[in-house]
């Protein structure tokens, strides 16, 4: 989508032997949306993205900076001048400032250079753990007292509209900032201008605590169709709000990271790392997989006699491994995504396993019978087809169960489920599939030839 524009930018940067043409670069990116420009910066190398970023005016750079990938933003902040980075931070909401300054080693040093109120608000957000509602929330939101009239509330909204992140809702609080209710703009528009906020607000609103995991916050917002959810402490005092655009970014980013980890590679991140760094990230899980697969190798070596007697057995081993492996990867991808969105719960893990077991059995039955028929016609021996079919069924069921259980077990133990699911599921289904396959072949060897 951006390939042609990226090539033109690189040509203007002088990558192809020419001199850098700043005017050409500015003209190329003049009409590009900040979100699209962030994608382009992520596609460029880090030095290239830095040179393009330096050509952006402050207001546009402030829009782009929070949208680029973590590795890109870290490089841009650490490579930019202190004066410019401070100017950009002053243009951002406090939650985005907190996200940026917490993402790189020297980030917190900027807090002392920010204006007092901003530094205080950001420091308050940084007190909460990463990936929680407290870290994600913004403290800038529209509030009103319960005895204020709708007309007064509208006047207050106009005064703060330029500084708060959203004015879709007004949060009704008392003198101690205890949340009493919420009122949407729609409710204000249809209410009598002299009515009090206490009479038009929605009582007992949906809220979240500051220590709630950000994925659970996303689930709450999705479940109740909220534009924003207030964050409150144990005394129902309003601490801030989490908006829907923030959780959408989180869900998208985490799903992309999980999917990339599931296959062992994140192209955007890997492109920025040296070969040695990439190898260090991928090797541990591959070594663990290799250790389990050696079990499959031991099984095969124990049955070398039957393999020599029935050479055709070797032709079906890759088919059993490939089909069952893909079933397991599908199950793992579904569970990893479900863990992120809240559709899969560790508390009710048996329901997930039972559902996937039923699905795996249905797939295994069809795939097993199909492969058994092919094997029977190929070998012209019914027992041979039965061996292949039963082995396929066992391998697929094992892969489905492992692809479901391993991500949930990893999550429970504190590991990244996306990283561990694929390698371990593949290894276990190979061991079980080959064991059943060759054990049955050995028992029925006299009828296979």
| Residue 407 CA: distances (Å) to CA of 106, 359, 398 | 35, 17, 14
Question: Residue 254: which residues within 8 A CB-CB, separation 6 or more?
Answer: 215, 340
The domains located in the chain, with CATH, are 3-127 (1.25.60.10), 143-243 (3.10.580.10), 263-447 (1.10.357.20)
Residue 75, both tokens: 């490089």
Strands 169-173 and 143-144: parallel
Q: Which two tokens stand for residue 447?
A: 């009828």
Q: Which residues pair with 173 in a beta bridge?
A: 179
- Closest residue by Cα to residue 66 from 331, 246, 255: 246
Sign, Cα dihedral of 133, 138, 142, 144: positive
Dist CA 102 CA 130 (whole Å): 9
- Tokens 């249905």 sit at which residue? 362
Q: Is 370 left (phi over 0), alpha (psi -120 to 50) or beta?
A: alpha
Which one, of 165, 160, 206, lies nearest residue 182 by Cα?
Answer: 206
Tens-level pLDDT at each residue, the chain (449 residues): 678 888 889 888 886 556 778 889 999 999 899 999 998 998 888 889 999 999 999 999 999 998 888 888 888 888 888 889 888 888 888 888 888 888 776 666 777 778 878 888 888 888 898 889 999 898 888 999 999 999 999 888 888 888 888 888 999 999 999 999 999 999 999 999 999 999 999 998 999 999 998 888 988 998 888 999 999 999 999 999 999 888 777 766 665 555 555 444 444 455 555 677 666 766 776 787 788 778 778 877 887 777 776 777 778 888 888 888 888 888 888 887 777 666 676 777 788 888 888 998 999 999 999 999 998 898 888 888 888 888 888 888 888 888 888 888 877 776 666 666 666 767 777 787 788 778 877 877 666 65
What is the C-alpha radius of gyration for the chain, rounded to an integer number of angstroms?
29
What's the CA gap between 382 and 373, in Å, rounded? 9
Instruction: Provide DSSP, 86-127.
Output: HHHHTTS-HHHHHHHHTSSTTGGGGGGGS-HHHHHHHHHHHT
Distance spanning both ends of the chain, measured CA to CA:
57
Q: Across the strands, what pairs with 213?
A: 132
**What are the structure tokens assigned to 430, written together?**
């190979």
Nearest Cα neighbor of 259 from 321, 332, 170 is 332
- What secondary structure does DSSP assign to 315-342, as a single string? HHHHHHHHHHHHHHHHHHHHHHHHHHHT
């Amino acid at each position: 989508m951006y390939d042609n524009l990226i090539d033109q930018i690189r040509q203007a940067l002088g990558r192809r032997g020419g001199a850098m043409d700043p005017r050409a670069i500015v003209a190329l990116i003049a009409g590009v949306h900040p979100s699209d420009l962030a994608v382009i910066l992520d596609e460029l190398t880090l030095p290239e993205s830095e040179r393009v970023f330096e050509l952006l005016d402050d207001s546009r750079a402030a829009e782009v900076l929070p949208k680029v990938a973590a590795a890109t933003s870290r490089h841009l902040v650490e490579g930019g001048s202190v004066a410019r980075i401070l100017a950009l931070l002053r243009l951002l909401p406090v939650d985005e400032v907190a996200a940026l300054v917490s993402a790189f080693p020297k980030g917190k040093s900027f807090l002392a250079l920010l204006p007092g109120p901003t530094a205080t608000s950001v420091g308050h957000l940084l007190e909460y753990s990463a990936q929680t509602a407290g870290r994600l929330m913004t403290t800038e939101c529209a509030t009103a007292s319960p005895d204020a009239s709708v007309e007064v509330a509208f006047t207050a909204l106009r005064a703060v509209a330029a500084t708060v992140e959203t004015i879709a809702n007004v949060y009704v609080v008392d003198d101690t900032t205890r949340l009493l209710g919420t009122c949407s703009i729609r409710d204000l528009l249809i209410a009598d201008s002299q009515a009090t906020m206490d009479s038009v607000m929605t009582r007992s609103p949906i809220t979240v605590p500051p220590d709630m995991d950000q994925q659970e916050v996303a689930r709450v917002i999705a479940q109740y169709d909220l534009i924003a959810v207030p964050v409150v402490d144990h005394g129902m005092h309003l601490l801030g709000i989490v908006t829907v655009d923030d959780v959408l970014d989180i869900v998208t980013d985490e799903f992309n990271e999980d999917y990339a980890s599931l296959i062992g590679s994140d192209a955007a991140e890997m492109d920025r790392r040296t070969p040695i760094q990439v190898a260090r990230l991928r090797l541990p899980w591959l070594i663990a997989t290799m250790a389990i697969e050696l079990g499959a190798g031991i099984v095969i070596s124990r049955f070398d006699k039957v393999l020599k007697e029935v050479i055709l057995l070797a032709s079906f081993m890759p088919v059993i491994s490939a089909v069952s492996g893909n079933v397991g990867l599908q199950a793992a991808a579904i569970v990893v995504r479900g863990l992120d969105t809240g559709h899969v719960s560790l508390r009710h893990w048996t329901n997930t396993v039972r559902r996937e077991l039923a699905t795996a059995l249905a797939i295994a039955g069809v795939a097993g019978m199909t492969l058994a028929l092919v094997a029977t016609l190929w070998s012209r021996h019914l027992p041979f087809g039965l061996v292949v079919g039963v082995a396929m069924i066992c391998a697929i069921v094992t892969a489905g169960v492992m692809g479901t259980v391993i991500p949930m077990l990893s999550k429970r133990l504190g590991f990244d489920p996306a990283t561990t699911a694929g390698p371990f599921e593949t290894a276990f289904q190979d061991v079980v599939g080959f064991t059943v396959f060759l054990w049955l072949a050995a028992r029925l060897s006299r009828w296979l030839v």
